[in-house]
């Protein structure tokens, strides 16, 4: 036995066991890696690491949360990278979270798994595939379902990795918040269908099955919502009651005139309502019922197939504890509900996390439930008392986001001028206030040779100098608002200058975006026609700041409240005052010289373009959610290219096409010549050895 052990040890220590030991090592490494997830993220901004907000979320799960992933296998590029990224991301969630987090990938070749996906509302999508030099299309499953308590949230059409962690984390947070809110309810949420039965006599298609469809959707939603919803149907008949409901909830009022009914009887005129309202303790959300005209002149109810989704969305908005942002009104600001020239898209994009609440500063101090204020495109002057409310809000540690236009574009009514635009300077009265804080907005437009180029038929590309394209060189690469973005468009923006030194005690000043060094200012006669612009000499061009963030402690712009300044001191026994001459908590002030970046002119509906990302990141940061901003733009900086000249692009193309093959040929030639030289040396050495022996 001892002899066998000695022989084994001798073999084990010898070279013959190397291959066997190597195989054993590989097996052990695979066993360890199968049960332990480890990854080193060497990207600049940790694009492949889980954010701290995501870690904190899954670490604090109170109930089991499962992720069921329905992804087709063997997808073509770039879609195969989404599945790999999803696996790694969920593995990190599982590693950071507690035992209540779990996930599972389903084999979509099995019919039962496809049925499961369809039961969640996930459907196949069509993707493009390049195969054998031909471009074709194929169907693929690319979605997942999140389950927490009795709630289910579906994320479908996951065709890219950008923003995937943000969507996952925010969806989980909404589910947890809604579940916790429902669990803590002292009474039930009331769902009421207001439908005047008299409307059934007018032949409205779908009216007779409205109640059945709505009640069926309610039942399914109630089962997923811990049985915390209550249903009722009300038939408003009296005109006063109809007016009351329509005014209170903003649902559709339908009038009809007197006439003859189908049975020949004479009918009097009247009115009814049609809509669904979710209500809880004074708060409510309205689900309007859409009436559309048919091809034959009648009316029909549309959207019955999506009524369950509408109910679920409105329940989430009703119960979610979202952060409230005050949207300042009363000075000609852009209107929130204006879909053509207002920030309605922005309001929709942030509605999953924030509630924009119209705020009138003339009413007095800002309500305590408002975390930040947005001043977006005012056209009229702020009163002293309104400026004081802004000032004191900032002194109390609030955050203020100001988007101030230098000019208002007007249309000439003179037919001789052809209705051309002219520009009137905007005076808001906020200028002295901002200067006291250390920032000023110029009465100018920043023009830039590095700008957006519009394609015009018959002419080609026309440079729009008043739309600077701020590239990576002009974006602050170290701030969460802008660090991962490749470029941002600034439309009709003024320069924003800091009037104080960056080293002021207790405050920092950060420039988030600047135009390129090929910029200049238009300050006097404003004419934005590209044909009428004259580009100055190169030596007079320079970069201009477009967005500036001030953060820290501020000195108040008021020595005392405006009323005291106007009326003087009042001789009374008591003289209470809550005036703050200096910040009691650090505040934030973000100033941008244009409100156009919040409008549909540059903000896309899906919120995927850089302008939308920049504005949403700014709102997140001002509300203490810097991690959300990092998550939203994670990975975007990896895919952006440096801005180069046409000559450099031509050289790079030539190197890629011809340089690499030439280098490969040279490497092969060098290796061949070295091999010949080595062979000659061996021959010479062998010949010399033979001669020595002889």
Q: How many Å apart are CA 372 and CA 394, to the nearest integer? A: 9
Q: Say yes or no: 659 and 593 in one domain.
A: no
Q: How many Å apart are CA 631 and CA 642, to the nearest integer? A: 23
Q: Is 227 left (phi over 0), alpha (psi -120 to 50) or beta?
A: left
The pLDDT value recorded for residue 569 is 46
| Strand positions, DSSP E, 290-415 | 290-293, 299-302, 323-329, 354-360, 370-376, 399-403, 407-411
What are the DSSP calls for 136-177, one per residue?
EEEEE-EEEEEEETTEEEEE-----STTHHHHHHHHHHHHHH
Q: How far is CA 292 from the centre of its chain?
A: 32
Q: What is the mean pLDDT of residues 660-682?
A: 87
pLDDT band (50, 70, 90) for residue 321: low
Is residue 220 one of the residues assigned to a domain?
A: yes
The pLDDT value recorded for residue 284 is 83
Tell me: pLDDT of 11 over 90: no
| Strand positions, DSSP E, 168-258 | 189-195, 229-234, 252-256
- Cβ atoms within 10 Å, residue 444: 19
What confidence tens digit (pLDDT) does each residue in 594-651 have?
A: 999 999 999 988 888 899 999 999 999 999 888 888 888 876 554 455 666 677 778 8
Q: How many Å apart are CA 151 and CA 104, to the nearest integer? A: 17
Tell me: pLDDT of 584 over 70: yes
Give the DSSP letter of residue 366. P
411 contact partners, CB below 8 Å, separation of at least 6: 419, 420, 421
Q: Among 295, 318, 341, which residue terminates a domain?
A: 318
Q: Among 299, 318, 337, which residue terminates a domain?
A: 318
Tell me: pLDDT of 266 over 60: no
pLDDT band (50, 70, 90) for residue 519: very high
Is residue 289 one of the residues assigned to a domain?
A: yes
The pLDDT value recorded for residue 570 is 41
Query: Cα dihedral angle (208, 212, 218, 221), rounded to 10 degrees?
Result: -120
pLDDT band (50, 70, 90) for residue 200: confident
**Residues of the chain above pLDDT 70, percent:** 87
Q: Which of 516, 500, 598, 586 is nearest to 548 (CA)?
A: 500
Q: How many Å apart are CA 243 and CA 236, to the nearest integer? A: 10
Is residue 687 one of the residues assigned to a domain?
A: no
Q: For the chain, what is the domain count?
A: 5
Report the length, in residues, of the chain: 694
Q: How many Å apart are CA 35 and CA 33, to the nearest integer? A: 5
The pLDDT value recorded for residue 97 is 80
H or E element, residue 57: helix 52-59
pLDDT band (50, 70, 90) for residue 571: very low
Tell me: pLDDT of 566 over 70: no
162 contact partners, CB below 8 Å, separation of at least 6: 608, 633, 634, 635, 636
CA angle, 467 as apex, 466 and 469 as ends, to 5°? 135
The pLDDT value recorded for residue 573 is 47
What confidence tens digit (pLDDT) does each residue in 361-393 have?
A: 998 888 877 889 999 999 999 999 999 999 999
Give φ, ψ of 575 to 5 degrees.
-140, 75
Q: Say yes or no: 258 and 165 in one domain.
A: no
Q: Say yes or no: 635 and 658 in one domain.
A: no
Hey, what are 492's tokens? Answer: 């009709």
Tell me: pLDDT of 656 over 50: yes
463 close to 530: Cβ distance less than 8 angstroms: yes
Tell me: pLDDT of 450 over 90: yes
Tell me: pLDDT of 440 over 90: yes
Q: Say yes or no: 500 and 366 in one domain.
A: yes
The pLDDT value recorded for residue 26 is 82
- Select, from the ranges 48-57, 94-103, 594-603, the one with the highest average predicted confidence (pLDDT): 594-603
Q: Say yes or no: 285 and 362 in one domain.
A: no
Is residue 519 one of the residues assigned to a domain?
A: no
Whether cis (ω within 30° of 0) applies to the bond prior to 113 is no
405 close to 594: Cβ distance less than 8 angstroms: yes
Q: What is the CATH number of the domain that holds 110?
A: 3.40.30.10
Report the mean per-residue pLDDT for the chain. Answer: 84
Q: Say yes or no: 214 and 167 in one domain.
A: no
What confidence tens digit (pLDDT) does each residue in 380-431 have?
A: 999 999 999 999 999 988 999 999 999 998 876 654 455 577 889 999 999 9
315 contact partners, CB below 8 Å, separation of at least 6: 178, 189, 221, 225, 229, 278, 285
Tell me: pLDDT of 191 over 50: yes
Q: Which domain holds residue 309?
A: 189-318
Q: Say yes or no: 261 and 156 in one domain.
A: no
Beta-carbon-side half-sphere exposure of residue 148 (alpha carbons within 13 Å): 25
What confidence tens digit (pLDDT) does each residue in 118-135 have?
A: 998 898 988 887 776 677
172 close to 214: Cβ distance less than 8 angstroms: no
The pLDDT value recorded for residue 574 is 47
The pLDDT value recorded for residue 502 is 53
182 close to 222: Cβ distance less than 8 angstroms: no
Q: Among 266, 295, 318, which residue terminates a domain?
A: 318
Q: Say yes or no: 502 and 361 in one domain.
A: yes
In DSSP terms, 325 is beta-bridged to 356, 372
Tell me: pLDDT of 70 over 90: yes
pLDDT band (50, 70, 90) for residue 144: very high
Tell me: pLDDT of 481 over 90: yes
The pLDDT value recorded for residue 448 is 95
Tell me: pLDDT of 315 over 70: yes
Ranking 124-138, 290-304, 409-423, 511-525 by mean pLDDT, the lowest is: 409-423
Q: Say yes or no: 554 and 591 in one domain.
A: yes
The pLDDT value recorded for residue 396 is 87
Q: Are strands 189-195 and 270-280 parallel, antiparallel or unpaired?
A: antiparallel
Q: What is the mean pLDDT of residues 312-335?
A: 84
In DSSP terms, 273 is beta-bridged to 253
- Cβ atoms within 10 Å, residue 447: 26
Is residue 43 one of the residues assigned to a domain?
A: no
Is residue 440 one of the residues assigned to a domain?
A: yes
What confidence tens digit (pLDDT) does each residue in 249-260 have?
A: 877 788 887 764
The pLDDT value recorded for residue 501 is 55
| Strand positions, DSSP E, 449-577 | 451-456, 460-471, 487-489, 496-498, 507-514, 519-522, 545-552
Is residue 522 one of the residues assigned to a domain?
A: no
Q: Say yes or no: 362 and 276 in one domain.
A: no
Identify the residue with better confidence: 342 or 35. 342
**Residues of the chain above pLDDT 90, percent:** 32
Q: How far is CA 530 from CA 339, 395, 464, 535, in A?
A: 28, 44, 6, 10
The pLDDT value recorded for residue 390 is 95
The pLDDT value recorded for residue 376 is 96
Is residue 123 one of the residues assigned to a domain?
A: yes
Q: How many Å apart are CA 498 and CA 599, to the nearest integer? A: 26
Tell me: pLDDT of 206 over 80: yes
Tell me: pLDDT of 516 over 90: yes
Q: Say yes or no: 143 and 194 in one domain.
A: no
Q: How many Å apart are CA 245 and CA 254, to the nearest integer? A: 12
Ranking 187-191, 266-270, 329-333, 547-551 by mean pLDDT, the lowest is: 266-270
Q: Say yes or no: 247 and 335 in one domain.
A: no
CA angle, 342 as apex, 337 and 346 as ends, to 5°? 80
- Strand, coil or helix: what is 667? helix
């Amino acid at each position: 036995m001892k002899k066998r052990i000695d022989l084994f040890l001798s073999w084990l220590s010898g070279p013959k066991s190397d291959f066997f030991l190597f195989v054993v090592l590989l097996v052990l490494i695979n066993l360890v890696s199968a049960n332990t997830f480890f990854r080193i993220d060497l990207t600049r901004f940790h694009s492949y690491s889980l954010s701290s907000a995501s870690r904190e979320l899954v670490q604090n799960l109170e109930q089991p949360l499962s992720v069921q992933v329905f992804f087709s296998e063997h997808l073509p590029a770039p879609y195969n990278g989404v599945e790999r990224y999803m696996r790694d991301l969920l593995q990190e969630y599982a590693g950071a979270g507690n035992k209540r987090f779990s996930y599972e990938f389903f084999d979509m070749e099995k019919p039962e798994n496809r049925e499961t996906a369809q039961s969640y509302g996930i459907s196949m999508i069509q993707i493009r595939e390049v195969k054998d030099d031909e471009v074709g299309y194929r169907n693929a499953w690319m979605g997942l379902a999140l389950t927490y308590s009795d709630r289910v949230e579906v994320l479908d059409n996951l065709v890219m990795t950008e923003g995937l962690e943000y969507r996952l984390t925010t969806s989980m947070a909404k589910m947890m918040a809604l579940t916790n809110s429902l669990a803590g309810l002292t009474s039930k949420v009331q769902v009421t269908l207001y439908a005047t039965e008299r409307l059934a006599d007018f032949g409205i298609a779908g009216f007779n099955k409205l109640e059945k469809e709505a009640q069926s959707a309610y039942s399914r939603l109630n089962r997923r919502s811990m049985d915390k919803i209550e249903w009722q149907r009300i038939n408003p008949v009296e005109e006063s009651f109809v007016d009351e409901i329509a005014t209170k909830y903003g649902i559709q009022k339908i009038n009809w005139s007197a006439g003859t009914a189908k049975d020949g009887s004479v009918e009097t005129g009247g009115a009814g309502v049609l809509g669904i309202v979710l209500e809880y303790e004074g708060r409510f959300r309205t689900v309007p019922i859409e009436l559309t005209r048919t091809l034959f002149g009648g009316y029909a109810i549309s959207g019955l197939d999506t009524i369950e989704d509408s109910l679920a969305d409105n329940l989430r908005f009703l119960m979610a504890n979202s952060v409230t942002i005050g949207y300042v009104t009363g000075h000609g600001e852009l209107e929130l509900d204006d879909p053509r020239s207002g920030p309605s898209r922005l309001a929709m994009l942030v509605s999953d996390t924030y509630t924009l609440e119209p705020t009138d500063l003339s009413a007095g101090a800002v309500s305590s439930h408002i975390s930040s204020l947005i001043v977006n495109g005012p056209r009229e002057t702020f009163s002293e008392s309104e400026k004081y409310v802004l000032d004191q809000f900032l002194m109390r540690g609030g955050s203020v986001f100001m988007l101030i236009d230098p000019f208002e574009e007007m249309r000439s009514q003179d037919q001789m001028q052809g209705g051309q635009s002219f520009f009137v300077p905007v005076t808001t009265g906020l200028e002295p206030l901002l200067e006291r804080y250390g920032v000023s907005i110029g009465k100018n437009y920043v023009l830039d040779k590095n700008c957006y180029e519009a394609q015009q038929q018959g002419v080609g590309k026309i440079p729009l100098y008043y739309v600077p394209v701020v590239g990576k060189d002009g974006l602050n690469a170290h701030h969460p608002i802008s660090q991962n973005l490749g470029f941002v468009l600034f439309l009709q923006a003024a320069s924003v200058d800091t009037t104080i030194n960056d080293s002021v005690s207790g405050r920092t000043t950060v420039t988030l975006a600047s135009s390129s060094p090929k910029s200049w200012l238009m300050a006097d006669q404003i004419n934005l026609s590209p044909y009428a612009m004259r580009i100055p000499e190169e030596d007079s061009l320079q970069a201009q700041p477009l967005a500036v963030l001030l953060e820290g402690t501020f000195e108040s712009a008021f020595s005392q409240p405006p009323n005291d300044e106007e009326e003087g001191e009042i001789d009374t026994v008591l003289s209470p005052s809550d005036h703050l001459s200096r910040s009691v908590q650090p505040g934030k002030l973000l100033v941008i010289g244009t409100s156009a970046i919040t409008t549909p002119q540059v903000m896309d509906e899906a919120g995927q373009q850089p302008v939308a990302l920049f504005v949403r990141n700014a709102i997140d940061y001002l509300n203490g959610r810097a991690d959300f901003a990092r998550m939203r733009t994670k990975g975007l900086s990896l895919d952006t290219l440096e801005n180069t000249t046409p000559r450099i692009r031509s050289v790079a193309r030539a190197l890629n096409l011809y340089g690499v093959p030439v280098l490969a040929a040279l490497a092969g030639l060098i290796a061949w010549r070295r091999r010949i030289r080595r062979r000659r040396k061996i021959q010479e050495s062998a010949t010399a050895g033979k001669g020595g022996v002889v």
